[in-house]
Amino acid sequence: MEQLLAFTYEHMEMIYIVILSIILGIQVIESVPTVLHTPLMSGANAIHGVVVVGAIIVMGSAAPDNYVALILGFLAVVLGTVNVVGGFVVTDRMLDMFKKKPAKKD
C-alpha cells in the first residue's frame, strides 16, 4: 500500500497526463459522424505506431555485441515503421476520396 502511494506521488505528473489523455481521447471521438469511423480507426492505428520510438530507444541502447537485442530491436523498428507509414498512407488514401467531392458535381 505504501509502495503504491509512493509510486503515485512520484509519478503524479504522469498520472495527470494519463487521466487527461483518456478524457481527451473520449472527447475527440464522441462527436465523430459514422462516415468517418473507418478513417479515424485507421488514423488512430497510425498514431499508436509511436511505439516505434520505444523500439528506436531499445535498438540504440543495445550493446553492439548483444545480437539477440539487435536483431529483435531491428525487427521492432521495421514493424513499428510499417505501422506508422502504412497507417498514415492508408488513411490519407481513404480521406482522399472524400476530398475531391465538390469538384465533381453533375
Partner 1 sequence: MIGDYILEIAYLIASVLYIFGLKMMSDPKTAKNGNLWAAVGMTVAIVATIFLYMDSEGKHLHNLPWIGGGIAIGSVLGYLMAKRVQMTDMPQMVSLFNGMGGACAAIIGLIEFPHYAHNPESSFLILLTIYAGVVIGSTSFAGSMIAFLKLNGNLNKDIRLPFYNVMNTGLIIAAVGLTICLAGGHIHANVDMWVYILLGLSLAYGVLFVLPIGGADMPVVISLLNSFTGMAAAFGGFLYGNMAMLTGGILVGSAGTILTVVMCNAMNRSLSAVIFGAFGTGGAAAAAVGDGKQKSYKQTSPSDLAVLLNYSSKVIIVPGYGLAVAQAQHVVHELESILSSRGVEVKYAIHPVAGRMPGHMNVLLAESNVDYDRLVEMEDINPEFSTCDVVLVLGANDVVNPAAKEDPSSPIYGMPILNVEDAKHTVINKRSMSVGYAGIDNDLFYRDKSSMLFGDAKKVLTELVSELKAL
Q: Rule CB under 8 A: which of 10-49 touch partner 1?
A: 14, 17-18, 21-26, 28-49
**Shortest distance, position 8 Cβ to partner 1, whole Å:** 10
Q: What whole-number distance in Å separates Cα of residue 46 and Cα of residue 94?
A: 13
Residue 67 interacts with partner 1 (CB under 8 A)? no
- Closer to partner 1 by Cβ: residue 12 or 17: 17
Indicate which single residue of 12, 16, 54, 67 sits in contact with partner 1 (rule: CB under 8 A).
54
Q: Say what angle helices 37-47 and 67-99 make with each other, to 10 degrees.
A: 150
**Shortest distance, position 52 Cβ to partner 1, whole Å:** 6
Q: Let me know if 91 is exposed, middle or buried by CB neighbors in 10 A (0-12, 13-18, 19+).
A: buried
**Shortest distance, position 12 Cβ to partner 1, whole Å:** 13
Which candidate, 53, 52, 42, places its Cα nearest to that of 87? 42
Site for partner 1 in 87-106 (CB under 8 A): 87-101, 104-106
Instruction: List strand residue ranges (DSSP E) for 14-91, in order.
Output: none
